[in-house]
Amino acid sequence: MNSKKKLVIIGGGPAGHAAASSAARKGVDVVLIEREVIGGAAHLLDCVPSKTMIATGGAMSFTESLSGMGLENRSAEIDVAALTLRIEDIKNQLSSDVSRLLNSQGVTLVNGTARLVDKNTVHVDAADGTTHTFEADDVLISTGTRPRVPNFVTPDGDRVLTTRDCYPPRTFPESITVIGSGVTGVEFAHMFASFGAKVTLVVSRQQVLPGKDPEVAAVLEDTFLARGVRLFKGARAVGLERTETGVRVICDDGRISETTHAVFAIGSIPNTEGLGLEEIGVEMDGGYININRHCQSNIENIYAAGDVSGKLPLSSVASMQGRKVAEQIVGGPRGPHRHLDYDKAASAIFTEPEIADVGLAEAEAFASGRKIRVTKVPFSSTAKALINNDSRGFVKIISDPATGEVLGGSIVGRHAAELISVIALAVTANLKVTDIEESLMVHPALAEALAEAAE
């Protein structure tokens, strides 16, 4: 008789496949059910294709700024077919790499739509028309989310788009209204501006990226304005009409944005309908599954990880949650970082310039009355910024004035998403500013600004 623990996972995105791989390595018998493609929406529809488009848009705008590098400016043209192929290739490669890894680890992959029958039984309607039932000691729900659209629009995949219609869009926008100015909205505004579209960004508050450090948001706003992006601040889209040439987006303050396309980036809805969760008493809030620090729902053997858990909607967080679930079902976390601390998650915004942050934010510290030490160094003080012909941005490190412990930081500028790792490590490992200051950084490198900010 097989005495291995049995884990059934519903949803093969970063949370599901990280949990599957980690649990299989720990000797658990794993079945992973995915209705579309292993890799999930992250690989197929959101994170990877959007970053691929942004990379191509970035390369395109880079060719227009070559003169400062001692070269002639060139203007590149979009080859939509080649771009589409490139996105498909990357998606397929990532998905097949993950599937191959999971197969090699003995994970049973099932292509189908799953739902819970009771807390230990999962029913699957497989893509090939067959049905299956799996018994499980533990079940992980990692079904992700989908884009939210307001009730006054019906996306048509042509002119009225959700983010998932944009890789690339059926017709390339000459002009586009981006509704929503959170992380996804500003990334899409940047992406379409890089491809030469005239962009209008509808910003419901008085700053883009509400909740982010205002100084960081201001750098992005200035760059948007310099690139000709129109900002409709303090405006909410309340209506949309089709016109002969595109769309007219109507805002609650009377402003109207008339463009060839509109894209909605106003958040997401959890994929929890039809899973049988209400029937077996799994507690949810607004459709998101409530979890404890072990990613357990109120029913001990039912876990949730990834976006569906309503925590930080990031691929990196989803994967870490998946690994923590695997640890929990084989007896609990053993390493020094036993529990996932969402406050220490690094995140990045892939705009021009790039923005990244981790840990405590300056505004948050002031709001709570906590004493902090803030040091800020512009990249222009490094040789590498001059060599790169790009001196924009800065590094900001936030530390405890009494102990020197690094509490957080933000970086704006080239490679911010890579450079933030230094501060992320310091925050997670409770390092002090002196640990960064005394690290012998490479010269010439943008990382030298980190050491300087730590002084």
Ligand X SMILES: Cc1cc2nc3c(=O)[nH]c(=O)nc-3n(C[C@H](O)[C@H](O)[C@H](O)COP(=O)(O)OP(=O)(O)OC[C@H]3O[C@@H](n4cnc5c(N)ncnc54)[C@H](O)[C@@H]3O)c2cc1C
Residue numbers of the site for ligand X (CB under 6 A)? 10-16, 33-36, 40-42, 46-47, 50-51, 113-114, 142-144, 163, 184, 271, 275, 306-308, 313-316, 318
Q: How many residues does the chain have?
A: 455
List, in sequence order, every residue forming a beta bridge with 121; answer none if it has no partner.
118, 135
Dihedral angle sign, alpha carbons of residues 204, 206, 208, 211: negative
Give the residue with the Cβ less far from ligand X, 315 or 328: 315
159 Cβ partners below 8 Å, 6+ apart?
A: 171, 242, 246, 247, 260, 261, 262
| Least distance to ligand X, CB of residue 7, Å | 15
Give the residue with the Cβ less far from ligand X, 113 or 194: 113
Rounded to whole angstroms, how far apart are CA atoms 317 and 303?
15
Total H helices, total E strands in the chain: 12, 24
Give the residue with the Cβ less far from ligand X, 184 or 207: 184
Rounded to whole angstroms, how far apart are CA atoms 132 and 125?
7
| Least distance to ligand X, CB of residue 189, Å | 12
Name the token pair of 402: 């009494």
| Least distance to ligand X, CB of residue 258, Å | 25
Give the residue with the Cβ less far from ligand X, 22 or 50: 50
Give the residue with the Cβ less far from ligand X, 161 or 308: 308
| Least distance to ligand X, CB of residue 415, Å | 15
Q: Torsion angle of alpha carbons 330, 336, 339, 341, nearest 10°?
A: -150
| Least distance to ligand X, CB of residue 275, Å | 6
Contact 209, 187 (CB under 8 A): no
Name the token pair of 209: 């990226």
Give the residue with the Cβ less far from ligand X, 306 or 393: 306
Contact 286, 310 (CB under 8 A): yes
R_g (Cα) of the chain, nearest Å: 23
Name the token pair of 411: 């970086």
- Type of residue numbered 145: T
| Least distance to ligand X, CB of residue 273, Å | 9
Give the residue with the Cβ less far from ligand X, 28 or 47: 47
| Least distance to ligand X, CB of residue 118, Å | 16
Rounded to whole angstroms, how far apart are CA atoms 347 and 43?
18
